[in-house]
Structures are given as structure tokens and as C-alpha cells.
Amino acid sequence: MTENNAKPPIIWLNTLVFLITFVIAAVAVPWYAMAVGIDGSFWWVMFGTLCFAGISITAGYHRLWSHRTYNAHPVVRFIFAIGGALAIQNSALHWSSDHRVHHTHVDDNDRDPYSAKRGFWYSHIGWMLREYDASRYSDYNNVKDLQKDPIVMWQHRHYLSLTLLLNFGWPVVAGLMLGDVWAGLLVVGVLRLVLNHHTTFFINSLAHVWGSQPYTDKNSARDNGVLAFLTFGEGYHNYHHIFSADYRNGIRWWQFDPTKWLIRAFSWLGLASGLKRSSGYQVEKAKLQMQLQRLQMKAHKAPPTLLEKAQQHYDEMAVQLRSYYQARKKLLDSKAQHLREQVNMDALKAQVEELQRSVEQQKRHWRQLVTQIKQHA
Ligand SMILES: [Zn+2]
Ligand SMILES: [Zn+2]
């Protein structure tokens, strides 16, 4: 074996933490539950702690610090810094730095720190078990903005003590309050931590292999409603990789994205501001483009005239969609102005309604074309 093929050295601290906590969660917790019994209240405290730490990662580490999709009040940032330390996923600074590299170099086996192309195990947990990336471990050049956030830097400096204090302190306190310190440590401490770990890790592994790709196939990220349910809404990962500046991952009202709901609730309370959204036009266009591309790839046997028709219809629809979204934005802006200056909006309203009708009609026609072409596939 040449030197290049040799695997980098094992990071024993990470390996032992993952291994020991997993064994305790899989063996000691069920054993304790059967032999001694665990009061129902512990499961509720565990669930609450799991949600707190998990959402600190999704709303804090991910959508606030890695992607800057909104601004948060210092109180919120402090709470996320605490919850993030409880989740034991490194400091917000380090996590965000890794994550920004993941987005810039997604699927690049040499540069994406958890490239899904290196396999499920590697992207899930393997990347943290060996010194794969030692050279850039403390390179925080891509998070200079976060270095200006005193809360991020405070958490980064005191990360180890915070982590130990919270992960032992809180389960012990919960155990004392509920009358069983061992149950506190096992359920609120270890089992909760293992669930926090693996649900987050699923985003890097499962969300890059299992699910649909409605917006782009330029990277391996997938949309997956089941995963969204387990990850506080982060399962809409295909959307996220193409529109990562959006504070939402599930953009439809019915898509399960409690992280988005929390951020919106914070904004109503004045604790968050500047919530960024992608333009509806860009989102719809990306989706149509994917549909067209799939039709062209799959429907070899469809008559060329039909495919040409689809291309032409797509082009027309893209133009019409842009006009519609532009007019809609103008209407929304004017509505705000209307409240101040009594602007007459009737003409603008009529224009938006007209455009909306025409877009709907085009979409119906498009769906017919898609079904027609698919019959030839
Ligand atoms: Zn991301
Ligand atoms: Zn990803």
C-alpha cells in the first residue's frame, strides 16, 4: 500500500464519544428501563431537550450563522449558542465554516468535508472519525463575519466547558427534580444526545441520497418529507442547496418546517428581522426547467415536434411568469404605499389578475403536454 492510500489517523476522542454514547443508548437505556423502570416524565423532558438542542442547530447554527438568512436578537443568539453546545456538534463557528465549504464544493470528494459521493457512512459520521481535513481544521477564513459576533466567539472560546457543563449538568438537575439521577443521565443525557447526533447527520447522508430532486440535479441533495419530520424541517434539502439564502427549507405552507415557523414567530415578536426569501419566479422557473430537462431526457420516443412544442411552451411560460411576479411585487409595494398615500391600485390589480389567469392557463397546457410526452416514454 502506498502512502497515499493509507487512511488518515483515527480521531479517538470523536470515535469514543460516538461509540460509547451509542452503546449506552442502545443497551444500557433499554436495560435500565426494564430492570429499574423509567418514569414517563423523563421521556417528556428528553423530548423537550432534544427539540431545544436540535432546533438550536437548524435555526441557529444552520439558517442563522451558516447562511445568514435572517438577523436575530442577542437573546436568541445566546439561547442558540447554549442549545448548540448541548447538541455536541462543535462550536457554531466551526460548524458554519464546515457547512459553508459543503455548500461551495458540494459532492467534491476532495473539498466537501462530508461529500455524499464518498458513500453513506462517510457523509453520515465517517468524516468525523479520522483526520481527513486536518490542514484546514482551524481555518476560519470563510466565517470572518461570524468572528464579529461576540456570542459566537464566546461560545467558541468556552465550547468545551459549556458542553461538559450542559451535558452533565442539565441531565443531573432533571434527574434530581424527577427523583432518579441515573435515569436523567441515561435518557436526557445520552439517549437524547445520540438522537440529536444522528438526526442531524441524516441531513448530510440520507438527504443526499433519498428523495426527489424537483429544483436541481446539479448536486446530490434531495427533498424528503419523512426526513423533514425527523430534522425540524431540514429534509427539503434539494430546495435548500439551490436557494440556501432562504430562511425556509419547506416553502409550501403544508411542508413540515418547524424551524421556519419558529423564525417567523421570532420575527412577529421582534426577535428576528430581515427574513430572506427567494423570488417566486426563480423558484417556479427552476422547477419547470427540471421538468423540461427530464422530459427531454426520458422521452426519446416522443415525436420531435412534441418536444419542440414543450421547449417553446416553457420559454413562453418563463416570460409570462416573470411578468406575473414583477406585477405582483409592484402591487404588494403599492399596497404599502396606498396605506400612506391613497394610490389608485385598481388598474394594477386587474393586470395582476389577468396575468395570473394566463399563467394558470399555461400551466394547465404544460401539464397536458407533459402527460402527452410521458405516454411516449
Ligand atoms: Zn445549508
Ligand atoms: Zn447538503
One pLDDT digit (tens) per residue for the chain, 377 residues = 334 567 889 999 999 999 999 999 999 999 999 999 999 999 999 999 999 999 999 999 999 999 999 999 999 999 999 999 999 999 999 999 999 999 999 999 989 899 999 999 999 999 999 988 777 778 899 999 999 999 999 999 999 999 999 999 999 999 999 999 999 999 999 999 999 999 999 999 999 999 999 999 999 999 999 999 999 999 999 999 999 999 999 999 999 999 999 999 999 999 999 999 999 999 999 999 998 888 888 777 777 788 888 888 889 888 989 999 988 888 888 877 766 666 677 888 888 899 999 999 998 988 888 888 877 76
Q: Which helix (H) or strand (E) holds 293?
A: helix 280-298
Task: Give pLDDT, residue 340.
Answer: 66
Task: Give pLDDT, residue 296.
Answer: 82
Q: What pTM, to 2 d.p., does this model score?
A: 0.90
Nearest 5°: CA angle at 61, between 258 and 166? 95
Give residue 212 CA to ligand 1 midpoint distance, Å: 17
- The helix/strand/coil state of 10 is strand
Give residue 241 CA to ligand 2 midpoint distance, Å: 6
Task: Give pLDDT, residue 370.
Answer: 84
Please report which ligand is nearest the Cα atom of 207. 2
Task: Give pLDDT, residue 345.
Answer: 77
Please report which ligand is nearest the Cα atom of 224. 2
Give residue 144 CA to ligand 2 midpoint distance, Å: 22
Give residue 242 CA to ligand 1 midpoint distance, Å: 10
Please report which ligand is nearest the Cα atom of 223. 2
Question: How many other β-carbons are positioned within 10 Å of the β-carbon of residue 82?
Answer: 19
Give residue 47 CA to ligand 1 midpoint distance, Å: 24
Grid cell for residue 101: 465549504
Give residue 263 CA to ligand 2 midpoint distance, Å: 21
Question: How many other β-carbons are positioned within 10 Å of the β-carbon of residue 250?
Answer: 22
Q: Are 113 and 102 in contact (CB under 8 A)?
A: yes
Give residue 324 CA to ligand 1 midpoint distance, Å: 30
Task: Give pLDDT, residue 4.
Answer: 53
From the list 122, 53, 66, 65, the residue with the least C-alpha distance to 241 is 66
Grid cell for residue 236: 427539503
What single letter denotes the amino acid at residue 353? E
Please report which ligand is nearest the Cα atom of 244. 1
pLDDT digits 0-9 by tens, 129-138: 998 877 777 8
What single letter denotes the amino acid at residue 324? Y
- The helix/strand/coil state of 140 is coil
Q: How many CA atoms lie within 13 A of 140 on its CB side?
A: 17
Please report which ligand is nearest the Cα atom of 107. 2
pLDDT digits 0-9 by tens, 293-317: 888 887 777 777 888 888 888 898 8
Beta strands 272-273 and 71-72, pairing class? antiparallel
Task: Give pLDDT, residue 228.
Answer: 95
Give residue 206 CA to ligand 2 midpoint distance, Å: 10
Q: Are 187 and 179 in contact (CB under 8 A)?
A: no
Grid cell for residue 57: 442547530
Please report which ligand is nearest the Cα atom of 243. 1
Grid cell for residue 152: 459566537
Please report which ligand is nearest the Cα atom of 237. 2
Q: Are 364 and 289 in contact (CB under 8 A)?
A: no
Nearest 5°: CA angle at 337, between 335 and 343? 85
Helices (runs of H) and strands (runs of E) counted in the chain: 16, 2
Give residue 203 CA to ligand 2 midpoint distance, Å: 6
Give residue 240 CA to ligand 1 midpoint distance, Å: 6
From the list 80, 139, 91, 82, the residue with the least C-alpha distance to 111 is 139
Give residue 114 CA to ligand 2 midpoint distance, Å: 8
- End-to-end alpha-carbon separation of the chain, Å? 48
